[in-house]
Structure 1
Amino acid sequence: MSPEDLSTEVMREYGYWALGVLMLVVAPEALMPFVGFLAHQGMLGFWPSVLAGTAGGTAGSLIIYAVVRRAGEARVRAWMVRRGHWLLLHESDLDRILRLFARRGRWFVALGRLLPSIRSLVNIPAGLLPMPLAPFLWLTLLGTLGWNLVLTLAGYCLGAQWSLLEPYLGFYGTLVIVLLVLLAGIFTVRRLLRRSLGGR
């Protein structure tokens, strides 16, 4: 069974709850366009799918926000010092993200949801400073809703053309994976070199 068939069966069996749960841990770019395609095929409703994905993504952000807020900056910094190297993160990364948040706080929370590289990091300074829960929740909801709507609409509009692209998806999917691995390798090597040279 292909991943698409498996996803379809899961959605049919458990409905929109499954989508919401998946969005706790899955990047929207990896799921919502396909969900839009399923909506075009009549297997899912468009707006229920967008709302379920948004609920799941927002819940995931709230979990990180709550954990960081309860832990406090001292514990987060201690974790970065002891365990951050496993994720190639340094205490200086935390300092940079806190400075950026201090300058662009509310915009950073909303617009950061559109940037895959910093989406999860947005929750850390919001929990540490801390940003009040109500504006964090609404801005997270707004940004997540907007991004999920764009991704789902893209898959929906692709619709009937999806099958025409299937012969090429394997090649281009492989190409994208290779490029991502290459970029990750470059990032990793640079971080390891900086560590070996005593840099931050």
Structure 2
Amino acid sequence: MVLEILGEFGSWGVFLLIAVENLFPPIPSEVILTFAGFLTSCTSMTVPEVIVAATGGSVAGAIVLYGLGKLLSPVRLNALLSGPVARRLKLEQEDVQKAADWFSDHGWPSVFYCRCIPILRSLISIPAGMAGMRFLPFLFLTTTGSLLWNILLVGLGALAGENWPMITGALAQVSDGVKWFLAAAAIGAVVWRKTRKRRIDCDRPSGVQ
């Protein structure tokens, strides 16, 4: 059904499916994005068009989960995740807890680099909302993180052409290594920026603003 929607509705189908994938993480974004990238080689869709549509869908779904986090207390969230609705949607309480732990350990930057980690890329929005993270930083980090992920997968699908299923299979095999590499790179960038800013502040003469 996923492939049929993409073939029928083009970039609007990409937007819809990625928005739904963010709300219901078991839907694989790897399949959606790599196939959409392949379609740019045989339809009127372009790579930039698909990337924009996918990023818009990612942000739309993330905003819904952020709002859900704003509305729910931890007790109510746990009750929801242990109920029949969560079971039908295949939402695992352990996955949500893992996202909450990432946000607790790494703070706001986790909203950016978790966008490149399957499952967590969607669920990280919930603890961000529950922690009262300001909306504009959340929106910026979600958009930039989603853009990186979408450029990677749509670009790979476009390059692979009809061999796009091989990309999806390869990602499934190396997903753990890829996600930890991306997370480590993002954390390193945050640490470097903070260290650099601290050094600049220390080197600045007193009284100079």
Fold shared per TM-score above 0.5: yes
Q: Quick one: distance in 2 between partners of 1:158 and 1:51? A: 20
Identity within the alignment, %: 28
Structure 1 stretches of 5 or more lacking a match?
177-200
Normalising to structure 1: TM-score of the pair? Answer: 0.68
**Counterpart residue identity of residue 59, structure 1:** A
Q: Quick one: distance in 1 between partners of 2:100 and 2:4? A: 42
Q: What does residue 73 of structure 2 align with? A: 72
The Cα shift of 1:100 comes to: 2.9
Normalising to structure 2: TM-score of the pair? Answer: 0.65
Cα RMSD, aligned residues only: 3.0
Change in CA separation of 1:29 and 1:154 when aligned onto 2, cut-off 3 Å: same
The Cα shift of 1:34 comes to: 1.1
SS of alignment partner, residue 119 of structure 1: helix
**Counterpart residue identity of residue 65, structure 1:** Y
**Counterpart residue identity of residue 125, structure 1:** P
SS of alignment partner, residue 19 of structure 2: coil
Post-superposition CA distance 1:118-169 (Å, at most 9, x none): 122201110101111111111000111100000000011113xx2xx49xx5
Aligned residues: 160
Q: Quick one: distance in 2 between partners of 1:85 and 1:3? A: 21
Is it true that 1:29 corresponds to 2:30 in the alignment?
Answer: yes
Q: Quick one: distance in 2 between partners of 1:59 and 1:99? A: 23
SS of alignment partner, residue 25 of structure 1: helix
The Cα shift of 1:52 comes to: 0.6
SS of alignment partner, residue 145 of structure 1: helix
Q: Is the 8 A contact 1:28 1:148 kept in 2?
A: no
The Cα shift of 1:81 comes to: 5.4
Q: Quick one: distance in 1 between partners of 2:131 and 2:72? A: 12
Structure 2 stretches of 5 or more lacking a match?
22-27, 173-209
The Cα shift of 1:50 comes to: 0.3
Is it true that 1:142 corresponds to 2:159 in the alignment?
Answer: no
Change in CA separation of 1:72 and 1:36 when aligned onto 2, cut-off 3 Å: same
The Cα shift of 1:104 comes to: 0.7
Post-superposition CA distance 1:56-86 (Å, at most 9, x none): 0110011011022022334223434556984
SS of alignment partner, residue 24 of structure 1: helix
Q: Quick one: distance in 2 between partners of 1:149 and 1:113? A: 12
Change in CA separation of 1:88 and 1:25 when aligned onto 2, cut-off 3 Å: closer
**Counterpart residue identity of residue 89, structure 1:** Q
Q: What does residue 54 of structure 2 align with? A: 53
